[in-house]
Amino acid sequence: MTKVVEAKALDNYRLWVKFSDGVTGIVDLSDLVGKGVFVAWKEYERFLKVRVGHHGEVLWDDEGEIDLCPDALYMKVTGEKPEDPFPKLKDTSLQHA
C-alpha cells in the first residue's frame, strides 16, 4: 500500500492527506473525538499537531500515542474496500479453513 507523505489538520476534525502515489483527499475524523485515545482531541489544539511518521503513518502527540494506519486512511479517501488492494480477502475458501 501507499504511505502518507503529507497531512494537514483542517477545521471540524477533518484531515487532508497526500499519499505516495499522488492521491489526495479529506477524511472526517470527528466521529473519533472523545473515544478511547482520541479523548485527547477534546483539546482541539492537540488535533492540530498532526504529523507524518517515518513509516508513512499519521501521528499525534510527542510520543505518537495516537496514530492512524495509512491503509485505512487510503481506503477512506478512495472508497476502496480491504479486498480491493488485498484480493485474497475475497477468497471465501479461506473463511472455512
Q: In what order do the strands lie in the sheet with 66-68?
A: 51-52, 58-60, 66-68
Q: What is the CA radius of gyration of the chain?
A: 15
| Residue 80 contacts residue 23 (beta carbons within 8 Å) | no
User: What is the pLDDT confidence band of residue 80, given thresholds at 50, 70 and 90?
Assistant: confident
Which domains are present in the chain? 4-96 (3.30.2020.10)
| Residue matched to cell numbers 477524511 | 27
Give the span between the Cα atoms of 24 and 39, in whole angstroms: 27
**16-75 pLDDT per residue, tens:** 999 999 999 999 999 999 999 999 999 999 999 999 999 999 999 766 689 999 999 999
